[in-house]
Amino acid sequence: MNKKQKKMLKRIIVASILFIIIKVVKLPEYIEIPLFLVAYLEIGYDILLKAFKGIRNRQVFDENFLMAVATVGAIGLKSFDEATAVMLFYQIGEWFQSYAVGKSRKNITELMDIRPDYANVEDEDGNLEQVDPDEVEIGTIIVVKPGEKVAIDGIVIEGSSTLNTAALTGESLPREVSENDEVISGCINMTGLLKIKTTKEFGESTVSKILDLVENASSKKSRSEAFISRFARIYTPAVCYSALALFLLPPVFNLIMSNPADFGTWLYRALTFLVISCPCALVISIPLSFFAGIGGASNQGVLVKGSNYLEALASCKYVVFDKTGTMTQGVFEVAGIHHANIPEEKLLEYAAMAESYSTHPISKSLLKAYGNTIDKSRIENVEEISGHGVKAVIDGVQVLAGNDKLMKMYNIPYQECHSIGTIVHVAIDGKYAGHIVISDMLKPHAKEAIEALKKAGIKQTVMLTGDVKSVADKVASELHIDKVYSELLPQDKVNKVEELLSLKHSKENIAFVGDGINDAPVLSRADIGIAMGALGSDAAIEAADIVLMDDDPLKISKAIKIAKKCIHIVYENIYFAIGVKLICLLLGAIGIANMWVAIFADVGVMIIAVLNAIRALNVKNL
């Protein structure tokens, strides 16, 4: 508990003791009434003050105003015990709500407690100095000792160790790293000493981006939250005017009909009506449900950028995948070199040098197979042709390295290849030199992910790829993906998603899952963009609405289940809170419900709704 909560708890205890003493011990009226007023002011002075400030600032209609009018009116009717009880139970409900929200925030903060407090940097004498991560520049060597957090993204230049990535991915399985391996900030070093050369500034590192996503998630409100905000703005003044009408119209009508007016009875009913009508349960529990859902998802390594995306995901019926790096590991290996008109080693060297400026997995596999250091002075005029390949001048000769479309673009006759894999054709000075076959591996959980999505209610799975049809069809067949579109340029992927969007039902959403820079436009265009966060590009993560921190496609169905549970809880709270209030308002208006029923309709419903909302945190077994 924080100081404010502890102070309120003391006030609740003092007021409760006073209230019990007054109700149990029979005291003279001249002692009982002052004690009730002391208890009332002890527990309710801040509500009265807020109501007064609201009136002064012309922001009248809120729960403080409703409580103040109802309880002051009850005191005017000499119902001192009911006035004190209403204020006491209202404050107990508010304290409980504050404690519940604080606890859920603390849970989420602990789950996301990945921000490093310092980075170890060696000084000129070899001594370690702890500095603020914000002050560390790109290219600095930082030292991470066992038990410390990796402060900034970088590459291991010395040492080997085991990293705990649970705070980032939600998975307890540790990750082994050694020299030349990339590491991301937020991981905890478990065993050996590591020296890491930073590749990003702290503000651009993984841990900073994750914290920014979580902190800003609440700013993007769902339609349900927006509806509740609008509802409260209209509802509160409406019930205030209804209560005023309930107080005035029946007595005035009785006077017209020459019957006793009985203003006291109708004032009591109007005050009861006000207490019942307080919209706390809705205003508090709906945002809390989304907040808990986002927190529960974060615990599972699924970062949701806003409650609006969580709501959209719950209505997702179509999932569209990129292939490379999303459903496959993106770890390519050279499987063969065919129809080479020059020595195979020379063909591989030309292809590796031409692709050396690219970060695409295909390029990395060629460099790995080549195995030698690239002499960049031998390479000139590198031009990447989107969706086709690369053109470069190497040792004074023009080299083309790419797919069938690149060969067709330059009218170079090429040898077709029927091997399963990605084919890189190479042409030198306009003459075909041969091709290299590169194979990719499916991700371990890719097949399970498609099965889990269908069990989660997904109507159709689709795969979009720039790969040749034979490779795309084989992957789609192995994974049991419903539809596949191959040999697509980045713009073609956008067009395909546009086509799917035009065919779907208005209440059904399409999610696109990708990881590359060329996926950013599609991620932005789909109803929900889901990016692979661990190995995905910064552009894809920025464009996406949801980020999977461990690149596991199985987490997509998990995210959908979390979203559906969260939305289910939201609607439970809406129907329950509005239903109970409508019944109690009707009972209060006809005189059946008294202030004690009103207390339940306000505080009781709020506590039940808040408890229900917190269930959204529990998503581990979904």
Residues 378 and 510 in one domain: no
Q: pLDDT class for 144, splitting at 50, 70, 90?
A: very high
Q: pLDDT class for 226, splitting at 50, 70, 90?
A: low
Residue with the bigger pLDDT between 4 and 140: it is 140
Residues 541 and 472 in one domain: yes
Highest mean pLDDT (candidates 76-90, 120-134, 176-190, 393-407): 393-407
| CATH code, domain with 514 | 3.40.50.1000
- Contact yes or no for 290/273 (Cβ under 8 A): no
Strands (E), 414-527: 422-428, 431-439, 460-464, 483-485, 509-514
- β-pair partners for 163: 175, 189
Read off the pLDDT of each residue in 192-213 and give the average, rounded to a whole number: 78
Q: Residue holding tokens 């203003």? A: 263
Residues 410 and 518 in one domain: no
Residues 428 and 551 in one domain: no
- Structural domain includes residue 607: no
Q: pLDDT class for 318, splitting at 50, 70, 90?
A: very high
Read off the pLDDT of each residue in 518-538 and give the average, rounded to a whole number: 76
Q: pLDDT class for 220, splitting at 50, 70, 90?
A: low
φ and ψ at 402, to 5 degrees? 175, -160
Strands (E), 159-272: 161-164, 175-177, 182-183, 188-189, 194-198
Q: pLDDT class for 351, splitting at 50, 70, 90?
A: very high
Asked about 550 being catalytic, the answer comes back as no
Q: Residue 149 carries which DSSP code?
A: B
> Can you give the pLDDT at residue 519?
76
Residue 413 tokens, joined: 């006759």
Read off the pLDDT of each residue in 392-411 and give the average, rounded to a whole number: 92
Residue 570 tokens, joined: 């939201």
Amino acid at 312: A
- Structural domain includes residue 126: yes
- Structural domain includes residue 532: yes
- Structural domain includes residue 45: no
The b/e string for 223-235 (b: 16+ C-beta within 10 A; e otherwise) is: ebbeebeebbeeb
Question: What is the tens place of the pLDDT at every residue in 368-381?
Answer: 888 888 888 899 99
> Can you give the pLDDT at residue 100?
64
Question: What is the tens place of the pLDDT at every residue in 93-107?
Answer: 778 767 766 665 555
How many CB atoms are closer than 10 A to CB 557? 22
Last residue of a domain, one of 409, 439, 469: 439
- β-pair partners for 141: 197
Q: pLDDT class for 391, splitting at 50, 70, 90?
A: very high
Last residue of a domain, one of 140, 173, 199: 199
- Structural domain includes residue 505: yes
Read off the pLDDT of each residue in 605-621 and give the average, rounded to a whole number: 83
Q: Give the C-alpha separation, 8 to 28, whole Å.
A: 30
> Can you give the pLDDT at residue 517?
60
227 pLDDT above the threshold of 80: no
Residues 375 and 426 in one domain: yes
Q: What is the dihedral of CA 452, 533, 119, 114, to 10 degrees?
A: -40
The three-class DSSP label of residue 440 is coil
Residue 390 belongs to domain spanning: 333-439
- β-pair partners for 434: 426
> Can you give the pLDDT at residue 97?
67
φ and ψ at 244, to 5 degrees? -65, -40
Q: Residue 446 carries which DSSP code?
A: H
Read off the pLDDT of each residue in 78-102 and give the average, rounded to a whole number: 78
Q: pLDDT class for 1, splitting at 50, 70, 90?
A: low
Q: Give the C-alpha separation, 545 to 559, whole Å.
A: 12
Q: pLDDT class for 236, splitting at 50, 70, 90?
A: confident
- Structural domain includes residue 569: no
Q: Residue holding tokens 């702290």? A: 202
Indicate the average pLDDT of the chain.
Answer: 82
Cross-sheet strand order for the sheet of 460-464: 302-304, 546-548, 528-532, 509-514, 316-322, 460-464, 483-485
Total domains present in the chain: 3
Cα–Cα separations (whole angstroms), residue 47 to 53, 69, 316, 564 = 10, 10, 43, 37
> Can you give the pLDDT at residue 17?
92
The three-class DSSP label of residue 129 is strand
Residues 410 and 479 in one domain: no
Last residue of a domain, one of 406, 421, 439: 439
Residues 457 and 320 in one domain: yes
Work out the percent of the chain whose per-residue pLDDT is above 90. 20
Q: Give the C-alpha separation, 592 to 581, whole Å.
A: 14
305 pLDDT above the threshold of 70: yes
Residue 9 tokens, joined: 């708890």
Question: What is the tens place of the pLDDT at every residue in 259-297?
Answer: 777 788 888 888 888 778 777 777 777 877 888 888 788
Residue with the bigger pLDDT between 151 and 599: it is 151
Question: What is the tens place of the pLDDT at every residue in 9-48?
Answer: 899 999 999 989 988 888 888 888 899 999 999 998 998 9
Q: pLDDT class for 417, splitting at 50, 70, 90?
A: confident
407 pLDDT above the threshold of 60: yes
Question: What is the tens place of the pLDDT at every residue in 333-344?
Answer: 788 888 888 899
- Structural domain includes residue 66: no
Nearest residue to 154 via CA among 124, 170, 177? 177
Return the half-sphere exposure (C-beta side, CA atoms, 13 A cut-off) of residue 387: 15
Residue with the bigger pLDDT between 590 and 391: it is 391
Read off the pLDDT of each residue in 378-404 and give the average, rounded to a whole number: 90
Question: What is the tens place of the pLDDT at every residue in 103-121?
Answer: 655 555 554 556 677 899 9
How many CB atoms are closer than 10 A to CB 287? 21
478 pLDDT above the threshold of 70: yes
Q: Give the C-alpha separation, 278 to 604, whole Å.
A: 12
Q: Give the C-alpha separation, 450 to 444, whole Å.
A: 12
Indicate left, alpha or beta for 387 from its phi (over 0: left) and psi (-120 to 50: alpha): left
Q: Residue holding tokens 């929900």? A: 528
Residues 511 and 461 in one domain: yes
Amino acid at 24: V
| CATH code, domain with 169 | 2.70.150.10
Catalytic-role residue among 81, 125, 181, 322: 322
Residues 324 and 447 in one domain: yes
The b/e string for 451-473 (b: 16+ C-beta within 10 A; e otherwise) is: ebbeebebebbbbbbbbbeebbb
Residue 228 tokens, joined: 């509740």
Cα–Cα separations (whole angstroms), residue 293 to 104, 457, 531 = 10, 19, 19
Question: What is the tens place of the pLDDT at every residue in 168-186?
Answer: 655 545 778 888 888 888 7
Residues 544 and 414 in one domain: no
Residues 434 and 448 in one domain: no
> Can you give the pLDDT at residue 410?
92
Residues 354 and 310 in one domain: no
Q: pLDDT class for 394, splitting at 50, 70, 90?
A: very high
- Structural domain includes residue 547: yes
| CATH code, domain with 381 | 3.40.1110.10
- Contact yes or no for 206/535 (Cβ under 8 A): no
Q: pLDDT class for 463, splitting at 50, 70, 90?
A: very high
Q: How many helices (H) and strands (E) does the chain have?
A: 21, 22
> Can you give the pLDDT at residue 487?
82
